[in-house]
Amino acid sequence: MEGENKSIIKIVVFGALDAGKTTFVETISGKKLLMKGEFERITNSFDFVQLDYDNYFIQLFATPGHRRFSFMWNTLAIGMDGAIFLIDSTVGISPVDKELMAFIKKHNVPYVVAINKDDLVHLSQENVREELEISDEVSVINTSSVTKQNLDLVMETLMMDITNTNNK
């Protein structure tokens, strides 16, 4: 069967409420999600889509941002190979962002920080790095999940980080 030799890479998108996680996953996949776990546009479980990417299938999940559903974060993080952390540039760095940053760092997997909604407000990468204490090896990229700005770059950068880590 075509693709039977492909490895599966699990990537999870985290971010505060309304940061644009569901939109990110939808836009980057360009197709209907296999799972879109939301009610009245608030994700309460998770989103899921599978992408064909070189020699890999990427299983891309997005988490709920609402605090009420934060119990899902641990479950979705199980077995992840990498993470994408979306910051909402129209809000700036919130306490939830600090909590999520600590959560992602604790999992010790490669991650990329996307400062989303760059089409609305531009937030400087330096400020975000400083506030969240992000090390120089981690990429921080300004994105828009609506205009598609840098979405492919985020995925390419993370896939490079993941495959380099796996080959070490």
Ligand X SMILES: Nc1nc2c(ncn2[C@@H]2O[C@H](COP(=O)(O)OP(=O)(O)OP(=O)(O)O)[C@@H](O)[C@H]2O)c(=O)[nH]1
Amino acid at position 145, single letter: S
State the number of CA atoms in the 13 A half-sphere of 1 facing the CB: 3
Given the complex with ligand X, which of 10 and 117 has the nearer CB atom? 117
Given the complex with ligand X, which of 43 and 157 has the nearer CB atom? 43
Task: Give CA–CA dist 75/72, Å, rounded.
Answer: 5
Given the complex with Mg ion, which of 55 and 74 has the nearer CB atom? 74
Q: What angle do CA 117, 140, 20 make, to 5 degrees?
A: 30
Pick the binder of ligand X from 64, 72, 93, 161 (CB under 6 A): 64
CB of 126 to ligand X, least distance (A): 20
What residue 42 binds from Mg ion, ligand X, none (CB within 5 to 8 A, per partner kind)? ligand X
DSSP-derived 3-state class of residue 119: coil
Contact window for Mg ion (CB under 5 A) among 13-21, 89-97, 138-146, 160-168: 13-21
CB 95 within 8 A of CB 24: no
Could you list the residues that contact ligand X (CB under 6 A)? Answer: 15, 17-23, 41-43, 64-66, 116-117, 119-120, 144-146
